[in-house]
Amino acid sequence: MPPKNSEKLARVSMADVAIAAGVSQSTVSFVMNGRDDMRISDDARNRVLKAAKKLGYRPRAAGRPPKEAAHGVIGIMFDEIATSPFAMITVEGAQERAWTQDVLLEIVMTGGDKEYEAAILRKWSNDRVLGVIYASILTRSATPPDALAMQRSVLVNCYDEPNRYASVVPAERRGGEAATTALIAAGRNNIAFIAGESWMDASAQRQEGFERAMAAAGKKIAKNLVVEGNFLPSGGRSATLKLMAEPNRPDAIFCANDLTAVGCYEALKSLDIRVGKDVAVIGYDDQEIAQHLTPALSSVLLPHREMGQWAVETILSETEILPNQTRIECPVVLRKSHLR
């Protein structure tokens, strides 16, 4: 097992730079990797470079040719990659951390096909990989193949009900609390919540966080100010129009994700309601689009990079991997959409 290098593991992350610069992790990634073909403003690019220099951030080593003395391989198995911008952030975090230990990452996408998962695990067993990361694009309960138990393994962004594996997920409830607390701190009192689809763990937990923060602040939640959306702009728009037609219309709206917030913006502007001035809006996920809205959207950052890093660190550790669940904080990225 390769030894840990504590100095390398403690280095500044891309998420740190994103928060300091007030942009998304994707923007930081593109800027630090010299992607001049992306439509990133000079202001955002300069803020990223300035924050990276101030924090002492060093870009990851991805893209270099493999080291001759690589200590081994870790496999990472995703159900989907192409359909989610967050999957690649997890991969980048895992690859970044593995590379500091001279370990390579081998990535597969299975589409949830159990036979394919089993075939890949047989290959990795024959290859004697150091461990396997089993990951999902949606935070959910998963049923990993039995052969995963034969590997040194962890689950990322999912968990198993029998609790046989160590897992890492976002601290969604605390993220929901943090978003709501930011709205309260900005002087908002009548706060609405637009949920995602009810079957999604993320939506339910973000709503729980909203309710906890409101209760802690001694604020009542009007039943008609909690509406269900669909995690898409269409749902955000229709839900916002419904909210603003209520006699006790809200002065702030917490959207369960950023795409919902896009629809929320459209609805408010169609009613000549000023985002941030008349009605505060905050989103969740901190997708690339958040910084390009007018005004820029305050949002909650999902720790996908940190989850990938955690997974590699856990597999490469010299201790027994116990079947516990780790929840990683979801910090609020404050911009202008929640301020008067």
pLDDT, one tens digit per residue, over 40-89 is 788 888 888 888 888 888 665 444 444 454 689 999 999 887 667 888 89
Structure letter (DSSP) for residue 279: B
Considering the domain 1-59, what is its CATH architecture? Orthogonal Bundle (1.10)
Calculate the alpha carbon distances from 332 to 176, 182, 187, 199, 300 in Å. 9, 8, 17, 24, 4
Identify the pLDDT of residue 205: 97
In terms of Cα–Cα distance, which of 278, 210, 267 is closest to 235? 267
Residue 22 DSSP SS3: coil
pLDDT band at 6; cut points 50, 70, 90? very low
Q: Does 172-300 match 67-170+304-327 at the fold level? A: yes
pLDDT band at 10; cut points 50, 70, 90? very low
Residue 100 DSSP SS3: helix
C-alpha span between 249 and 163 (Å, rounded): 43
Instruction: With 0.85 as the threshold, say if the pTM is over it.
Output: no
Domain 172-300: state its class: alpha beta
Strand runs labelled E in the chain: 72-78, 103-109, 131-141, 153-159, 166-170, 191-195, 226-228, 252-255, 280-282, 299-300, 325-328, 332-333
Q: Which CATH superfamily is domain 67-170+304-327 in?
A: Response regulator (3.40.50.2300)
* Range in 53-57, 89-93, 176-180 the model is least confident about: 53-57
Share of the chain above pLDDT 90, in %: 72
* Range in 17-31, 173-187, 201-215, 252-266 the model is least confident about: 17-31
Residues 6+ apart with CB under 8 A from 144: 117, 134, 153, 155, 160, 165
pLDDT tens digits, one per residue of 232-284 = 999 999 999 999 999 999 999 999 999 999 999 999 999 999 999 999 999 99
Q: What angle do CA 130, 136, 141 make, to 5 degrees?
A: 105
The torsion angle over the Cα atoms of residues 209, 211, 214 and 218, rounded to 10 degrees, is -130
C-alpha span between 124 and 315 (Å, rounded): 15
- Residue-range domain boundaries for the chain: 1-59, 67-170+304-327, 172-300
